[in-house]
Structures are given as structure tokens and as C-alpha cells.
Amino acid sequence: MAAEGPEAPASPGGEGLPGAEAGPDQDVLPKPASNGAPNPDEATPAQECNGVSVESTALALRPEPAKEEAPQPSAPDVVMHMAINPPMEELSITYPLEFERYWRAAQENPLDFTAWTELLQYVEQENHIYAARKAFDSFFLRYPYCYGYWKKYADMERRFDFIKETEEVFQRGLQSIPLSMDLWIHYISFLQSSLDMNLPDSAQKICGTFESAVAAAGVDFRSDKLWEMYVEWQREQGDLKAITAIYDRVLATPTQLYSHHWEKFKEHVTSHPPREILSTEELLWLQSKMASETVAKATEMEAEEAPPGEDVPLKTEAKQEMVEGSQVLGPLDQDRIRELVISIRQHIYTQNESEVSKRWNFEEGIKRPYFHVKPLERAQLRNWRDYLDFEIASGSHERTIVLFERCVIACALYEEFWIKYTRYLENHSVAGARNVFQRACCYHLPRKPNIHLLWAAFEEKQGEVEEARRILKSFEDCVPGLAMVRLRRVSLERRLGNMEAAEALLMEAIRENEGMPVSSFYSVKLARQVLKVQKNLIKARKILLEALEKDPDNAKLYANLLEMEFSADVRQNEGNTMSSFDRALTSGLPLETKIIFSQRRVEFLEDFGSSINR
């Protein structure tokens, strides 16, 4: 169950999102009109990173076709836009008295989850729709998995009788967390109370929404309430055959209340005539099966009663009449059909019971299935790891995907589970893996380097070089100063043959970090690249000598200079090698370091020296 407890106390620690630093004048707000649908052409930059929809998430459920189409660049989903440009009327909006204080607190520290919850609580108390929209839209850019706040947002729109906007909020929430069984239930309840049921389209819309709900969340182990609600709605519609079809699906799905569904199904079968609950195809098949059993039994009895050694005549025509007349059911026939219906599904139920038992202990170990910024206990993290490994080994792709989706709701701030998810999907669906990378990096882990580096590597493997370059640069702009990211950008350019760009990136890093030890680190990287790739010893030597002028007490610079000189022809480069030794021995390095260089000098002269006088 992908739910979230909005009333639970929260501590700081949630990851921020791109655009989290925007001030009040930069954020945007929809107009509260009946036709105020979000404008997809006016999305904020943060949304360009990814638009997550039920359909896009469902891509992960399908393996890649044999021949994959060229990957398309990510584009924002129409309904998933969390904010739109402010209308002109906003310029004259007067917000509640304390709104600016709460808003500023959340914007100045977007990682403080408590600041956000206080802001949302305030706008809810003030019952100010403009302030609420501004606050909720900004909040969901950072925490889209908070089911409870989607519900609060929709309820607030409903209080103002904005039916269209209420539905849009529900749809956005369900696109963010399609596994949220509770949010589906609230959305369906909203439709049932707001639609005119005298219109034929209303029932069709609710039925279609139920189908979308069970398709998205019905495989969840804790989805029983949704299935029961679907059955009850079909009972209100008087469609008993549809109820049977629903039970056929849920009885094959491992859920927490699997035995309860089985008892309800048997009650459903025994309480209604078979013609009212079974499809025509199944009813005819059962009648044919019963007639065949009757014919076989009659033939067996005739054979037993015939005198020994006498052949029994085949009464084909009479038996055919029995089969053809089997469509007329009497009371005994109905009881027999009920027995067959239950007996056939008993096998399915038994198999499902076995699947439930395999998962029961794992499910018992899930104590917090919803999202929260508070850390999870180690036991729960270990349980998720073991559960995922079990489901992957079981071989059911659909169940594995659903479990991963459940996991990344509860463990949204844990990089390891997103990485595990993408690695699994890379073998099944490139589009699905890309979708997961986008959700992880753009919403939940915008400041985690490893997942971004893996995303860039993934795109490079797919031939999306520009996208890989954009990912790395965008992350470095967001979290500057990480050597691992700068070096990954350098290696990307080097692999593409852009040696000038690779060198420029290292030179830029040297300049930006001048006076700090990391500047010497980049100098070493640049010198080695120039030597090994460009085969330019003179240029590489110059780079290290310039670095030594700025950082004369860095032992690693001296060591790398010596290694570089060693790599050349020792007979032609003996003078430069000896100069490197002399430079280290006359520097301000510690005595113990100089002793090491002195020992290496003696060893060099012993092995390669051209004169005993040295």
C-alpha cells in the first residue's frame, strides 16, 4: 500500500529538487477557474526533467521489442506538471498574513520537511486556495510520494467546489504514485459522489477508473480493499458476471486477504443461479462437460449390465440428444455446475495460497510501506533487499516491477534501491530504465552523485551522448566541486575523441580550485592525459612544473613527475630525471619523504646511471 501519514511527525532530511531555491516571485500558481487546467507549454524548468505517468511507469512492465526504436528525449507529461505560469490576476492577490514567513522558511531550506508540513498546515487552516495551490505545487516538486497531502490538496479544491481542478489533482497524484491503493479509492469515491449517475458515461468512467486502479495497484499485496470496492460497485450495478470476472483475477493474485476473497467467491457462486454469474462460454463448456460425464457414466452402466461376451451397441444418436439437450438446467444440474465452478477455481486458489505463503514473512517485515523522510531501520532495509532478490529469482517480471515500485516509495531517499531497480530494468526495457533514472534523479535524489553518474553512463550506452553530457553538467551545476563528476565529464569527452574539450575541462578545474590541494590533483590528471593520450612529454612536464610552483610541498606532484620521467627513454631523459630528484630533495618536503626520494635516486643511478660520478 503506497500510503503516507501526513500527521506523523517529521524530521529534516528529505532531498531537495531542482528549482527548490526559487523564491516566491519565481514560483507559479494556477487560476481558480472552472477551466483552469494546467498548461503543458508553461511548465517550470524543474518539470522538464521528467513527467511521470501511469503509462510511462507501465512501460517498465513490458520487455523491449526485438528491434528497439531510437530513444526519444524525455518530455514533460501533460497532467504531471506541478505548476504553471501565474495569471495576471496573481499580481493583485493578497496572501494570508503569515504565509510569507512559512513560505520563506520552506524555500530557504527545502530539505527541511518540517518546514514544508508547517507551511501546508498553515494554508489549510487559512483555507486560502491561492496560497494552498502555491504551497502544494511547490511541495510536490520535492515530495511527490506523499499520498496524504495529495488527498488534502484535492479535498481543499473540493471545498471550493472546483470539481475539474479536484479531479486534476487526483490524476496528478495517481501519476506520481500509481501504486497508492488509498489514493485510487479516494479518487473513485470522489467520482461516485460528483458524477451524474443518470448519464451513461458516468458508469463507464467509474468502471474504467476501477480497471485502471486494479491494473496499476491490484497486484500489490495489500490491495484487497480496492478489489472489494470494485466487487461492491459491480454488485450495485447488478452485473453479477462482472463480479465473477473480478474474482477470477483476484483469486490468482497473492494478496493479504486471499482466503477472504475465496470465501466471498464461494458465497457469490452459491447465492445466484449459474446463468446469472457465468459467461455464456463458460456455462456452455460446463454443460458440455456434464453431458459428457453423463454419457460416459451411462455407457459404463450398460457395459456392466450386458451379458458376458455380448457386445454393447453404441447408442450414438441417443447420447448426442443428451448432449444437445444439456442446455436445459434443472435444480440438480445447477448444484452440479456450482460444484464444478468452485472445483475448477480451487486449483487456482491453492496455487495462489502457496505464492502468498512464500511472501508472507517478507510482507510482515514491511513496517512502513509509505514514504517518509525519517530513516528506515536496518532490519526493514534488509527485508526489502531480501524480498527483491526473492521476487527477481521467482521470475515474474510483473510482480518484480510492482515490488520495486513499492520499495522505492518507502525507500525513496535510499540510492541503492533506485540503482538496483535500474540495473534490473536495463535487461528488460530501456524506456523503463530511463523512466526510473529520471524519477530518481529529478525528484527524489537530485543531489546524489552515484545515481546521476549511472544515468549518464546508461544514456551513453544507448548512444544518447548529448543527454549524457547534459546530465553530468546539470548535476555539477547543482552540486559543484565533486571531482568524480568532473572526471566523468572529462572521460566522456575523451571517449568521444574530443581531446580539446577534455583538456579544457581539466584546465578549468585547475583554475577554479587554485590554492587548494584538489588543484594539484587535477594537474596530475591533466599531465597524465597529455602524456598517455597526446604523447606529449614536454607539455605534460610543463603542467606538473607549473603545479609545483603553486604547491611546492605536495609530495604527489614530485612522485608523478618522476614517474612521468621514468616512462621516457632513460638514456635520453637521464638529465630530466635527475633534475626531478634534485627538485624533490631540495624542497620543503618532510625528511622521511626526502629519504624515500633519495633511496629511489640511488636505485635509479644503480640501474640506469651513465656515469659513476653522479
Q: Could you read off the pLDDT of 277-324 as tens digits, one per residue?
A: 999 999 888 888 887 766 556 556 555 555 665 555 544 444 444 444
Mean pLDDT of 174-198: 95
Identify which of 446, 447, 449, 468 has the alpha carbon closest to the alpha carbon of residue 457: 468
Q: What is the predicted pLDDT for the residue at 5?
A: 40
Q: Where are the alpha helices (DSSP H) in 306-376?
A: 316-324, 331-364
Residue 297 in contact with residue 287, Cβ under 8 Å?
A: no
Sequence-distant (≥ 6) Cβ neighbours of residue 334 within 8 angstroms? 273, 274
Higher-pLDDT residue of 56 and 287 is 287
**How many CB atoms within 10 Å of residue 338?**
20
Mean pLDDT of 160-174: 96
d(CA 279, CA 277): 7
Q: Where residue 515 falls among pLDDT bands split at 50, 70, 90?
A: confident
Residue 283 in contact with residue 274, Cβ under 8 Å?
A: yes
Mean pLDDT of 140-145: 94
d(CA 27, CA 450): 29
Q: What is the predicted pLDDT for the residue at 90?
A: 52
d(CA 255, CA 365): 15
CB-count exposure of residue 220 (10 Å: 0-12, 13-18, 19+): buried
Angle at 335 between CA 330 and CA 340, to 5 degrees: 120
Mean pLDDT of 163-173: 97
- Give the CATH architecture of domain 1-62+74-222: Alpha Horseshoe (1.25)
Q: Where residue 566 falls among pLDDT bands split at 50, 70, 90?
A: confident
Identify which of 443, 400, 444 has the alpha carbon closest to the alpha carbon of residue 423: 400
Q: What is the predicted pLDDT for the residue at 305?
A: 57
Q: Where residue 363 falls among pLDDT bands split at 50, 70, 90?
A: very high
**How many CB atoms within 10 Å of residue 490?**
23
Q: What is the predicted pLDDT for the residue at 313?
A: 53
Mean pLDDT of 51-64: 41
**Domain ranges within the chain, ordered by starting residue:** 1-62+74-222, 239-296+320-368, 379-480, 482-547, 552-614
Q: Which three cell numbers stand for residue 106?
A: 520552506
- Average pLDDT taken over every residue of the chain: 82
pLDDT digits (tens, 9 = 90+) for 491-511: 999 999 999 999 999 999 999
Distances (CA, A) of 552 to 526, 542, 546, 547, 583: 18, 14, 10, 8, 10
Mean pLDDT of 422-430: 95
Higher-pLDDT residue of 264 and 570 is 264
Phi, psi of 508 (to 5 degrees): -60, -40
Residue 107 in contact with residue 22, Cβ under 8 Å?
A: yes
Per-residue 3-state assignment (H helix, E strand, C coil) for 474-509: HHHHHCCCCHHHHHHHHHHHHHCCCHHHHHHHHHHH
Higher-pLDDT residue of 187 and 31 is 187
Identify which of 141, 173, 160, 155 has the alpha carbon closest to the alpha carbon of residue 27: 141
Q: Which three cell numbers stand for residue 416?
A: 541503492
Identify which of 274, 285, 219, 211 has the alpha carbon closest to the alpha carbon of residue 252: 219
For residue 132, pLDDT beyond 80? yes
Mean pLDDT of 406-433: 96
The highest-level CATH class for domain 379-480 is mainly alpha
Higher-pLDDT residue of 36 and 233 is 233
Lowest mean per-residue pLDDT among 13-27, 61-75, 564-578, 585-599: 13-27
Residue 444 in contact with residue 142, Cβ under 8 Å?
A: no
Lowest mean per-residue pLDDT among 92-96, 196-200, 351-355, 368-372: 92-96
For residue 202, pLDDT beyond 80? yes
Q: What is the predicted pLDDT for the residue at 92?
A: 66
For residue 552, pLDDT beyond 70? yes
d(CA 548, CA 563): 15
Q: What is the predicted pLDDT for the residue at 609?
A: 66
Q: Where residue 567 falls among pLDDT bands split at 50, 70, 90?
A: confident
Estimate to the nearest angstrom the gap between the alpha carbon of 406 and the chain centroid.
9
Amino acid at 467: E
d(CA 297, CA 303): 10
Q: Which three cell numbers stand for residue 354?
A: 502457496
Mean pLDDT of 385-405: 95
Residue 445 in contact with residue 413, Cβ under 8 Å?
A: yes
pLDDT digits (tens, 9 = 90+) for 580-611: 888 888 888 889 888 888 888 888 887 776 67
For residue 248, pLDDT beyond 90? yes
Higher-pLDDT residue of 568 and 543 is 543
Mean pLDDT of 51-68: 41
Q: What is the predicted pLDDT for the residue at 304?
A: 57
For residue 23, pLDDT beyond 90? no
d(CA 202, CA 188): 11
For the chain, the 3-state helix, strand and coil shares in percent, each to the nearest 5, are 65, 0, 35
Q: Where residue 194 falls among pLDDT bands split at 50, 70, 90?
A: very high
Fold match between domain 1-62+74-222 and domain 379-480: yes
Q: What is the predicted pLDDT for the residue at 4?
A: 43
Mean pLDDT of 557-580: 82
Angle at 163 between CA 162 and CA 169, to 5 degrees: 90
Identify which of 168, 175, 86 has the alpha carbon closest to the alpha carbon of residue 131: 86
Mean pLDDT of 465-483: 96
